[in-house]
Amino acid sequence: MSTEMPKPQKLIVVSGPSGAGRSTAINVLEDLGFEAIDNVPLSLLPRLTRDELTCPLAIGLDVRNRDFSINGVTDLLAQLRVRDDIEAQLLFLEANEDTLVRRYSETRRRHPLAPDEPAIQGIRKEAELLLPLREKAEFLLDTSDLSPHDLKASLTEWFGEDGGSLFGVSVQSFSYKRGAPKGVDMTFDCRFLKNPYWEPPLRKMSGLDSAVGTYIQTDPRFEDFTTKVKELLLMLLPAFRDEGKSHLSIGFGCTGGQHRSVYVTEQIALALAEQGWQVSKRHREIDRVYSGSVQQGGS
């Protein structure tokens, strides 16, 4: 007779600052088969999770919840994480100040922590309040540059069928002009490589074009750099997985995020996938809506 223990049921607590996309995330998780409950009073949550869960559960919590407190949320998470029948994890969504201000401006809503003040005041208060919770998150996602489609793709990768229980790796390119993306576990600077931007035929291409890749490969430092990065990551990924981490995010940056970082991201993502790792990739600047012009300085 088999004595194998039943697999614990997933319970995802979704939190983060107002305007970062919590409601959208809750809807996505509901589409993925989770029972989704948003803005439930914190005092009712022990009752909701008292009995064995019959399906995955997603709970949305933010400062607008009745009786919300950081200590209350962290205590709840601590209680859930010691249970054998539940795999409780915290998904924390965030966005930069400019994005949050723009979103509040577009919706013309008042910030719950600053109803009679400019939204930026509430945004800063909330960021400081939620910092201890952010530090306890297994999943951290910056939605500043994500469309609803991008957000859904990320959550599907993490929490879709067979997701969440696998160790996922995301690799992304970015521009240092716009700053390193938040929530990235490690970054590599590609700005020392030969810059295709200064070659007129390549300027408006990207690292996804073979001509750009061929040009970057002519840099004598390219092969040694990518080989050592691959070796480092292949050494570290099993260690992070064994430590209990569910996801690792890796960023490659260059000046404009269009050429060098894009090509290196493609090469590293391919190398990790060939070794059997579950890899997703994203090119932050390319994914943005291009105006057709390239920033001065290139990538």
Band the pLDDT of 264: cuts 50, 70, 90: very high
Lowest mean pLDDT among 24-33, 76-85, 120-129, 195-204: 76-85
Return phi, psi of residue 148, to 5°. -55, -35
* Residue 65 annotated as lining a ligand binding site: yes
Lowest mean pLDDT among 22-26, 116-120, 213-217, 285-289: 285-289
pLDDT of residue 55: 85
| Helix H or strand E encompassing 173 | strand 168-175
Return phi, psi of residue 237, to 5°. -60, -45
Higher pLDDT, 8 or 246: 8
Band the pLDDT of 91: cuts 50, 70, 90: very high
pLDDT in tens, 61-73: 888 877 888 888 8
Number of Cβ within 10 Å of residue 147's Cβ equals 12
Task: Let me know how long the chain is.
Answer: 299
* Residue 276 annotated as lining a ligand binding site: no
Q: At what angle do helices 22-31 and 148-159 cross, to 10 degrees?
A: 50
Domains in the chain, CATH or no CATH each: 9-159 (3.40.50.300), 168-287 (no CATH)
* Residue 210 annotated as lining a ligand binding site: no
50 Rama class: left (phi>0) / alpha (psi -120 to 50) / beta:
alpha
pLDDT in tens, 53-63: 888 899 998 88
Band the pLDDT of 294: cuts 50, 70, 90: very low
**Helix, strand, coil fractions of the chain, as percent rounded to 5:** 40, 20, 40
| Helix H or strand E encompassing 175 | strand 168-175
pLDDT in tens, 138-193: 888 889 888 888 888 888 878 876 544 457 788 999 999 988 887 788 999 999 99
Band the pLDDT of 7: cuts 50, 70, 90: confident
pLDDT greater than 60 at residue 1: no
Mean pLDDT computed over 13-22 = 91
- Secondary structure of residue 141 in the 3-state scheme: strand
Asked if 203 contacts 196 with a C-beta cutoff of 8 angstroms, the reply is yes
Which of 201, 288, 218 has its CA nearest to residue 260? 218
* Residue 108 annotated as lining a ligand binding site: no
* Residue 16 annotated as lining a ligand binding site: yes
* Residue 20 annotated as lining a ligand binding site: yes
Angle at 18 between CA 14 and CA 22, to 5 degrees: 30
pLDDT of residue 16: 92
* Residue 64 annotated as lining a ligand binding site: yes
Q: Which ranges constitute the DSSP H helices of the chain?
A: 22-31, 45-48, 70-81, 97-107, 119-134, 148-159, 210-217, 222-242, 260-274, 284-287
* Residue 63 annotated as lining a ligand binding site: yes
- Secondary structure of residue 214 in the 3-state scheme: helix
Mean pLDDT computed over 90-110 = 86
Mean pLDDT of the chain: 85
Higher pLDDT, 245 or 209: 209
* Residue 284 annotated as lining a ligand binding site: no
pLDDT greater than 70 at residue 254: yes
Angle at 245 between CA 241 and CA 250, to 5 degrees: 85
- Secondary structure of residue 188 in the 3-state scheme: strand
pLDDT in tens, 210-244: 999 999 999 999 999 999 999 999 999 999 887 76
What is the identity of the amino acid at 228?
K
Number of Cβ within 10 Å of residue 184's Cβ equals 19
End-to-end CA distance of the chain: 61
Higher pLDDT, 40 or 29: 29
pLDDT of residue 216: 98
